[in-house]
Amino acid sequence: SFLHLRPMPLDAIYSLKETFKADSNENKIILGSGVYRDDQSLPWVLPSVEKADEIVAKTQDCGRYEYLPIPGYAPFYTAARDLLFGDLGDNASRIVSLHTVAGTGANRLGAQFLKETTHPSAVWLPDPTWVNHHNIWSQVGVNVKTYPYWNSSTRALDFEKMLRVLSDEATEGDVLILHACAHNPTGVDPTKEQWMTIAAMCETKGLFPFFDCAYLGFASGDLDEDAWAVRHFMSRGTLELAVAQSFSKNMGLYGERVGALHLVTATAEIASNAKGHLSRLQRGYVSQPPTRGARIAATILRTPDLYQEWLFDIQQMSSRIRNMRRALRDRLISLGTPGSWEHIFSQIGMFSYVGLTAEQVAIIEEYSHIYMLKSGRINIAGLTTKNVENVARAIDHAVRL
């Protein structure tokens, strides 16, 4: 019987959407889930995606609804790998890639694979991190621990504390979750020097780096810049690692569920064996991933003109986000809102940890009908030239109470 079941709260990001929907105020604003919106607060179909979609529709034959192979659509996951790692040379044979049900599917598949093959004593998640990391790793049954990341008083990365805790407490074989760029939820990334120190620590302590890469190209508008950390870990030649890659944000293909898991192993033979194990797990979850979104992504990545157009599209998104960061910071400064707001502009990617308390977030929701996560994370892409003034005033009001 299911009598013992207690109510289970909905994931924080999704329950915020429900609360927002139920609010009848016409000036309501949602700065919750990580989805891009244009300056009219509308979803944006990237022009490059629209064109690729037409090409895919035209070229589809009677086999378009057939099953893909278990590892997914090879032209997609190979192009995704090359986009992420750049020029791999001989190293390509050390990498196993699979097409997954978006970034979540890649995180889950990688977690299950590691749990079964290397039996980590713990997975280390940044505090804070994407809420679903906790969910995924606890469902897989690996002991979840957190390492310090955000320092609420400096509103910056607490790098020393992060290193200290990991050096003192993590043990060989533990998995270390890292956000490749545009850390969700804080918008704060390590510097290149700090990335090098983290990589060296993984080597000396025998930690397994697992990157979540949901914002490649979207974070800074520059693919090479956003891929730098992953490529650096790879270039050391000493580390095995995994990357969960998503095309939800950088191609706006959210509902199409397009992603890839890449596992970098020590040798080509290990990679080939690992592919069999990963395929067995994938078969148990979804048999094979869905086709259409991966065909659209592969068309963009493999057609030079469309690829150039896509680079332009991601720059459009990332520069609108930067402009909104600047606008919010400037409004808060001109209102004389107590506190320092520079971090809103210097953070990167879709999110900002503004530095609001849960009480302030509740006040903003109640008085101004502006919805954000209790942590004070806001989706900058939810800001527009029209609503940024209201958001700044709402923050100003809450901070002064």
> Under rule CB under 6 A, which residues in 110-139 are in contact with ligand LMR?
130, 132
Helix ranges (DSSP H) in 131-263:
131-140, 159-169, 192-205, 223-226, 228-235
Residue 35 CB, nearest approach to ligand LMR (Å) = 7
Our CB check for ligand LMR shows the closer of 285 and 307 to be 285
> Under rule CB under 6 A, which residues in 182-221 are in contact with ligand LMR?
184
Between CA 202 and CA 191 the distance in angstroms is: 17
Residue 331 CB, nearest approach to ligand LMR (Å) = 24
Give the H/E segment covering residue 43: none
Contacts of 222 (CB under 8 A, 6+ apart): none
Give the H/E segment covering residue 65: none
What is the size of the binding site for ligand LMR (CB under 6 A)? 6
Query: Should residue 299 be labelled a site residue for ligand LMR when binding is judged by CB under 6 A?
Result: no
Our CB check for ligand LMR shows the closer of 183 and 320 to be 183
Contacts of 217 (CB under 8 A, 6+ apart): 223, 226, 250, 311, 314, 318
Our CB check for ligand LMR shows the closer of 229 and 350 to be 350
Our CB check for ligand LMR shows the closer of 74 and 131 to be 131
Residue 378 CB, nearest approach to ligand LMR (Å) = 11
How many C-beta atoms lie closer than 10 Å to residue 18's C-beta?
Answer: 9
Between CA 127 and CA 133 the distance in angstroms is: 11
Sign of CA dihedral 38, 79, 214, 189: negative
Residue written as token pair 């192979």 = 69
List active site positions. Answer: 130, 212, 249
Give the H/E segment covering residue 302: helix 292-302
Residue 132 CB, nearest approach to ligand LMR (Å) = 6
Our CB check for ligand LMR shows the closer of 59 and 139 to be 139
Residue 131 CB, nearest approach to ligand LMR (Å) = 7
Structure tokens at 322: 């930067």
Residue nearest ligand LMR by beta-carbon distance:
34
Residue 12 CB, nearest approach to ligand LMR (Å) = 9
Beta bridge partners of 179: 212
How many residues does this entry show for the chain?
401
Residue 6 per-residue DSSP state? P
Our CB check for ligand LMR shows the closer of 103 and 355 to be 103
Contacts of 93 (CB under 8 A, 6+ apart): 268, 271
- Kindly write out the interface string for residues 12-41 of this chain, putting x where it contacts ligand LMR by CB under 6 A and - elsewhere: -x-------------------xx-------
CA dihedral 125, 243, 88, 290 (to 10 degrees): -170
CA distances from 261 to 54, 78, 226, 300 (A): 27, 11, 17, 19
Between CA 267 and CA 269 the distance in angstroms is: 5
Residue 214 CB, nearest approach to ligand LMR (Å) = 6
Our CB check for ligand LMR shows the closer of 32 and 71 to be 32
Residues lying near ligand LMR in the complex (CB under 6 A): 13, 33-34, 130, 132, 184
